[in-house]
Structure 1
């Protein structure tokens, strides 16, 4: 899907991820969301938490404004994270709200992923029943999930970065195909860009970086599906997703800078793929610094610092 449209792939990935989150709601909340159809689409604005929540009998009064709710225009439900304004340590909770109750403000104007509709949502004071709320920490940790399948019980960061990278892999593949088609086409004087040694070198470097990133992500996905879930495993997957995103951005940027002026046209396919990959790579979940910190910490905690 990412090869055809990274924005569509981005929304599909997030709808899948948010359904995993919603599976951690109390049973009554799950019945509300999926009682009529198993295909309910769920948008979310969880990080950073915004708005406010106040305890009332049987539920919470939720209100506020949340940014970057990707795919909300085609969603049936929205997961929103807000702090408990009455709690002594202001714990954060996630709330499921029908899409019909929120107002969507058109604020998404990024360079890439322009069709994701990652807009701002606003909610006036609304009572959300307890059955549609869960502590955000439990949702992200996948804790307290006895009996649930692994895909629902896993911590969010085990596969979150891999899912974010998937649209970028597809867009990078397509960028490589578009650039290669251009480089193989003869221009003035019957000369092909691919006849130049510098162009062949750039092609080789970008192709191998894209393939290596995909291989690394596939390996990390296999670990997420099969290996014992530990802090070290989660940290290694975060590390690999961040590095893969950097490789994909580097590879596509190299192709974009090497292409001819017409190939870099703002309305062209390569420009769209380039801007999409770089926008994905800039997502906070794919930042290398916190991923590297978590990986180093897992080695110390795991007793592997005596190598």
Structure 2
């Protein structure tokens, strides 16, 4: 059985009755496609799209049920990301980040969860997890934090931000800050994912109470807070085994969007660039196979994690390295697919008005995320497989 079962029924926040997550995501695709150029111009997800995502119930559905979530586990959000990515890469990226973050919140101390979800299951927070330009000091009751963090996707729509602090992975802490405790620096001028609004955030000598901090390397592992509070399969797995899968999911959707657009373009064309071109048929076949393979690998990997967690199984280092390898490889496949189709798309594909060039840029931008680096993931797996450790 594959993960991402979109047939699960959930209840939207704006009215009674069940709805199908697949149907609701599909309903949003035309709207998000129409607003994709606007998202690029604004350099953030349009407010109307944020409102529609919230009203759809697709953001809040994977939040813990005790705080208004409606039951699906995180794999359903990944599958929704597949769908939304076909329309607007930036919006799908932010959706994937926001929903993964609300799942992360389930690992935080109960008091933090109550404070955060007081405004509803579709409350949003962005995250900045590179601690290089930050300082943290232990004080009574918590921490004093200062720093500047980059690549904070979806920050304009969020009421909270999570930042990473700590001199080493062993000392790493993720800390949640309310909107009043940080400033947004408008630094997001990028080649792709322009609408993600991944700007810098700045905090100056902010107090963070202890209950708003976790060690991500222990969450879901030696720290079982999420499982104790929510009894959901995903909270029996280490938090960090889902990180790369969350980011890879919208990239697969973006690559599918390129396949869709290329197919439509070739069908409309005539002559040597039309549907009878054997060269274009071959490119479409190989690229679509790569995207289908990426989606299948993603679903199978996430399903394995959830099944193992549900059974109370362990997650040895070799398997964690394999999950990272496979999630990164799905993105590697997507990059190959969009390159192959963009190269054959002709001169018109370079125009700003053409969706294929935007999605092509978005896939490449996403592939540069540190968590999706194929070389890093491949080396880590190779070392584990050869008995050399991390």
Taking structure 2 as the reference length, the TM-score comes to: 0.71
CA contact (8 A) 1:256 1:264 kept: no
Alpha-carbon shift at residue 282 of structure 1 (Å):
1.9
The aligned counterpart of 2:162 is 79
CA contact (8 A) 2:273 2:280 kept: no
Which residues in structure 2 correspond to 1:170-209 (within 5 Å)? Answer: 170-187=253-270, 190-209=271-290
Cα distance between partner residues in 1 of 2:316 and 2:224: 16
CA offsets, 1:263-284, max 9 Å, x none? Answer: 2313310001101111112221
Alpha-carbon shift at residue 117 of structure 1 (Å):
0.7
CA contact (8 A) 1:161 1:285 kept: yes
Look up the SS of the partner of 2:222 in the other structure.
Answer: coil
Among residues 304, 309, 317, which one is paired with 1:231 in the alignment?
A: 317
Asked if residue 7 in structure 1 is aligned to residue 93 in structure 2, the reply is no
Among residues 127, 152, 167, which one is paired with 1:44 in the alignment?
A: 127
CA contact (8 A) 2:217 2:240 kept: no
When residues 90 and 259 of structure 1 are mapped into structure 2, their CA distance, relative to the original with a 3 A threshold, is closer
Alpha-carbon shift at residue 301 of structure 1 (Å):
5.1
The aligned counterpart of 2:381 is 295
Alpha-carbon shift at residue 260 of structure 1 (Å):
1.5
Cα distance between partner residues in 1 of 2:154 and 2:269: 41
Unaligned runs of 5+ in 2: 1-83
Look up the SS of the partner of 2:349 in the other structure.
Answer: coil
Instruction: Provide the aligned C-alpha RMSD in A.
Output: 2.4
Cα distance between partner residues in 2 of 1:47 and 1:69: 10
When residues 152 and 43 of structure 1 are mapped into structure 2, their CA distance, relative to the original with a 3 A threshold, is farther
The number of residues matched between the two structures is 297
The aligned counterpart of 2:299 is 218
CA contact (8 A) 1:50 1:83 kept: no
Q: Larger Cα Rg: Structure 1 or Structure 2?
A: 1
CA offsets, 1:241-275, max 9 Å, x none? Answer: 11111111111111111112112313310001101
Greater RCO (Cα-Cα under 8 Å, separation 6 or more): 1
Cα distance between partner residues in 2 of 1:212 and 1:52: 42
The aligned counterpart of 1:105 is 185
Please identify, of 156-165 and 266-275, the stretch whose mean Cα deviation from structure 2 is larger. Answer: 156-165
Alpha-carbon shift at residue 4 of structure 1 (Å):
1.3
Asked if residue 132 in structure 1 is aligned to residue 212 in structure 2, the reply is yes
Alpha-carbon shift at residue 41 of structure 1 (Å):
0.9
Cα distance between partner residues in 1 of 2:91 and 2:330: 20
Cα distance between partner residues in 1 of 2:223 and 2:214: 11
The aligned counterpart of 1:305 is none
The aligned counterpart of 1:59 is 142
CA contact (8 A) 1:94 1:135 kept: yes
Cα distance between partner residues in 2 of 1:104 and 1:185: 44
Cα distance between partner residues in 1 of 2:269 and 2:357: 21
Asked if residue 123 in structure 1 is aligned to residue 209 in structure 2, the reply is no
Alpha-carbon shift at residue 295 of structure 1 (Å):
2.0
Cα distance between partner residues in 1 of 2:208 and 2:283: 54
Among residues 87, 105, 130, which one is paired with 1:22 in the alignment?
A: 105
Among residues 137, 146, 154, which one is paired with 2:237 in the alignment?
A: 154
Alpha-carbon shift at residue 50 of structure 1 (Å):
3.3
Taking structure 1 as the reference length, the TM-score comes to: 0.88
The aligned counterpart of 1:252 is 338
CA offsets, 1:104-141, max 9 Å, x none? Answer: 011111211111110000112111111112234324x6
